[in-house]
Structure 1
Amino acid sequence: MSAPENLTDLYTGELQDLWSANDQMAKVLKKMSSKVSDEKLKDMLTKSQAGIAEHTDVLKTLLEKSDENVKKEHCKGMEGLVAEAIKHTTEEAPEKGPVLDAVIIAQYQRMTHYGIAGFGTAASYAGTLGLKDAVKALDKATKEIYGGDEYMTKLAETTVNIDAKVE
């Protein structure tokens, strides 16, 4: 991506970055979900993959409406988060069980926080640009991502971390 010249460039660049971030996160969630012991966590990771796909469709639609090339821009931020997730859930991870589940939740939340920041930023740009439909779609996605993050916190605090403490 070339240097942004205005807020529209920042907005479309954010959408392209988020598309890449979503693709990267979806791939690593698929890998991590195969290692999960807790059924509620496994279910949430599956639901999250479907949510990521929906949010990616939103990003593509918004790019189409902005008359930009519908393409993604490689997200180096998510690349780093994904590398950490892989490292902590495969290379330096317990084989299976509650401790690994706790690690997976932590890595999921790190990646999710990137999404919350990105979608929130894109919504703010869209608002300033007067793109009401885009704001509505991006705010909805942000709330859904935040809801997933809150659910993971609840799951960690009520079962997974407690089970990991016992192990």
Structure 2
Amino acid sequence: MASTETLKEIYIDEVRDLWSANDQMQRVMKTLGQQASDKKLKDLLEKSVSGIGRHTETLKSVLEAQGGRVRKEHCKGMEGLVEEAKTHAAEHDLDGPLRDLVIISQYQRMSHYGLAGFGTAAAYASALGLKDDATKLKSIVKDIYNADDYSTELAQRAEKAAA
């Protein structure tokens, strides 16, 4: 990133990166959802896939509103997290409850990455006086926190079942 960039340019780059991160996470969530054995975990992952899609549409609308080219920039950070998820959850021969625990762990890693990105983008939007953008992005942060809290509950239940 060049030092001559403005906060708005950095903000637009962040939104483009989040779009790519969302697309990558959405694809792997579909796969992990098919491999989960717990009904509540399957439901969470299915809801996450559709939620990520809605969040991506919000990102596209934010880019349009700010005059940025409506395109994504490949997110290497999420690429690494997706590869980890595939390696640990999708490609290991684990029994149901243990696989579910690994899926939850990988889901939370990717979600926390999203929290950092969306939280930062919301802060940038606020700093730029983009109230509508900030509100939309903060709403996404809230959605991710809620899903994260629920996935922690599922992990606690699955941990007991696996013990």
In which range does the TM-score fall when normalised by the shorter chain?
Answer: over 0.9
Q: 1:137 aligns to what? A: 136
Cα contact 2:35–2:90 (8 A) shared by 1: no
1:33-112 correspondence to structure 2 within 5 Å: 33-94=33-94, 96-112=95-111
Q: CA deviation at 1:153?
A: 0.4
Q: 2:120 aligns to what? A: 121
Asked if 1:26 corresponds to 2:26, the answer is yes
- Cα deviations across residues 27-69 of structure 1 (Å, max 9, x unaligned)? 0000111111100000000000111000000000000001010
Distance 2:155 2:68 in 1: 41
Aligned AA for 1:154? E
Q: CA deviation at 1:93?
A: 4.0
Taking structure 1 as the reference length, what is the TM-score of the superposition? 0.94
Q: 2:149 aligns to what? A: 150
Q: 1:3 aligns to what? A: 2
Distance 1:92 1:37 in 2: 14
* Structure 2 residues not aligned, in runs of 5+: none
Distance 1:128 1:107 in 2: 32
- Cα deviations across residues 110-156 of structure 1 (Å, max 9, x unaligned)? 00000100000000000000000001000000000111001000111
* Structure 1 residues not aligned, in runs of 5+: none
Per the alignment, do residues 93 and 111 of structure 1 end up closer, same or farther by CA in structure 2, a change over 3 Å counting? Answer: farther
Q: SS state of the match for residue 62, structure 1?
A: helix
Aligned AA for 1:7? L
Q: CA deviation at 1:161?
A: 1.0
Distance 1:108 1:21 in 2: 13
Which consecutive segments of 4 or more residues in structure 1 shift more than 2 A?
90-93
